[in-house]
Amino acid sequence: MSDNTSDNSRRRFIKLGAMGLAAIPLSNILVRGAQAANAVDENSPMAKSLSYVSDAAKADQGKRGGADRFCKSCQLYSGKAGDASGPCSIFQGQLVNANGWCTAWTKKAG
């Protein structure tokens, strides 16, 4: 009887563990999907008017004015250090790429 109870507990533990492992990649996919859906579209009128690019290397380097100019080094960027993208006070409700750039770039204070 006690062996049976032990087996049931073990099966339940394994089942819950498998469900937990299966849930992690799904949550990652959902978060990434939400971020991608929220990313600034380079072809939107606002992005085009500011020459926004999600990869600063693809920007007009003459306009860019310096290889150290990225969204992540811009005063208007409020993403966390190390994040791939984050909010920008110009593109409200959307995410800009940390390695992106636009003509409104302003040197981060401090």
Binding site residues, ligand SF4, CB under 6 A: 52, 71, 74, 76-77, 88, 90, 96, 100-102, 104-105
Q: In terms of CB distance, is 83 or 100 closer to ligand SF4?
A: 100
- Using the minimum distance from each CB to ligand SF4, give the nearer residue, 9 or 49: 49
| Beta-carbon contacts of residue 69 (< 8 Å; ≥ 6 apart) | 56, 101, 105
> DSSP characters for 33-89?
HHHHHTBPPTTSHHHHHTT-BSSGGGS-HHHH--TT--GGGBTTB-PPTT-SEEEBS
Paired strand residues for 74: 107
Compute the least distance from the CB of residue 67 to ligand SF4, in Å: 14
Q: What is the DSSP letter of 91?
A: S
| Residue 12 vs 108, nearer CB to ligand SF4 | 108
Closest CB to ligand SF4 among residues 6, 78:
78
The DSSP letter of residue 21 is H
Instruction: State the nearest-atom distance from the C-beta of 6 to ligand SF4, in Å.
Output: 57
| Minimum distance from residue 32 beta carbon to ligand SF4 (Å) | 20
